């Protein structure tokens, strides 16, 4: 009974959970792990879910909390490198192909939903800002729902979203000009 009720509530949100996990982790394998962990934790805690409340916000909160836990754990662990498969010119190749500090972006990221410039700008946002932008502008959650999911005050959600959008606006200024969204005489607000 509990399993079928959980499955019925989960089914409409599976795609959104997977795509949000992919946007947050920027790695298909990590996103799949995060998704599976979220489903596992949600099923274990399903008895705590209050019927007739917002299941989508509840499960997204589990996703965000799981992501934060994994993210913090990765920061504390040193990067692992296998020396078995290194080429003789490994460091030369790395230096020649400069990568950003945040690594490379999965080519299928967002199912080609955004242009590369937009993806790069979104990925370069600090994590707290990126989370609220993803939840608000991509997943369509309300400010109150985001506040509940991320467990921060409503004012902080609004502030982070405002600041994130301003950062994106500055970063994407050239992209907007190039694609005709703004004319060359308009200047961004500081």
Give the SS3 label for residue 189. Answer: coil
- 68 and 119 in a single domain? The answer is no
5 confidence band (pLDDT: 50, 70, 90): very high
CATH code for position 49: 1.10.1740.10
pLDDT at 107 over 70: no
Mean pLDDT across the chain: 78
Mean pLDDT of the 104-113 span:
40
What are the phi and psi torsion angles at 75 (to 5°)?
-65, -40
- 3 and 50 in a single domain? The answer is yes
What is the count of structural domains for the chain?
A: 2
Q: For 134-144, what is each residue's pLDDT tens digit?
A: 999 888 999 99
Mean pLDDT of the 9-29 span:
92
Does residue 90 belong to any structural domain of this protein?
no
17 contacts: CB under 8 Å, gap ≥ 6? 35, 38, 39, 59, 60, 63
Q: Which domain holds residue 5?
A: 1-76
Instruction: Tell how far CA 82 is from the center of its chain.
Output: 28
Does residue 54 belong to any structural domain of this protein?
yes
What is the pTM (predicted TM-score) of this model?
Answer: 0.60
Closest C-alpha to 131, from 62, 68, 39: 68
Does residue 81 belong to any structural domain of this protein?
no
- 6 and 71 in a single domain? The answer is yes
Does residue 10 belong to any structural domain of this protein?
yes
CA-CA distance, 119 to 113, in Å (whole number)? 9
The predicted pLDDT at position 103 comes to 40
Q: For 68-78, what is each residue's pLDDT tens digit?
A: 887 777 766 65
- Return the number of other C-beta atoms located less than 10 Å from residue 64's C-beta: 20
Give the SS3 label for residue 188. Answer: coil
């Amino acid at each position: 009974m509990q399993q079928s009720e959980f499955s019925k509530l989960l089914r409409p949100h599976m795609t959104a959970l997977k795509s949000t996990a992919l946007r947050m982790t920027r790695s298909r394998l990590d996103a799949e792990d995060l998704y599976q962990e979220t489903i596992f934790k949600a099923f274990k805690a399903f008895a705590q879910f209050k019927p007739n409340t917002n299941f989508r916000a509840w499960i997204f909160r589990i996703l965000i909390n799981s992501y934060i836990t994994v993210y913090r754990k990765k920061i504390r662990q040193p990067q692992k490198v296998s020396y078995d498969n290194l080429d003789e010119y490994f460091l030369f190749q790395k230096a020649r192909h400069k990568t950003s500090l945040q690594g490379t972006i999965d080519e299928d990221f967002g199912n080609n939903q955004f242009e590369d410039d937009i993806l790069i700008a979104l990925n370069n946002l600090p994590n707290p800002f990126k989370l609220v932008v993803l939840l608000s502008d991509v997943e369509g959650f309300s400010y109150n729902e985001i506040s509940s999911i991320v467990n921060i005050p409503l004012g902080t959600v609004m502030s982070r979203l405002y600041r994130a959008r301003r950062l994106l606006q500055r970063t994407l200024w050239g992209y907007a000009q190039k694609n005709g969204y703004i004319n060359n005489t308009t200047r961004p607000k500081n």
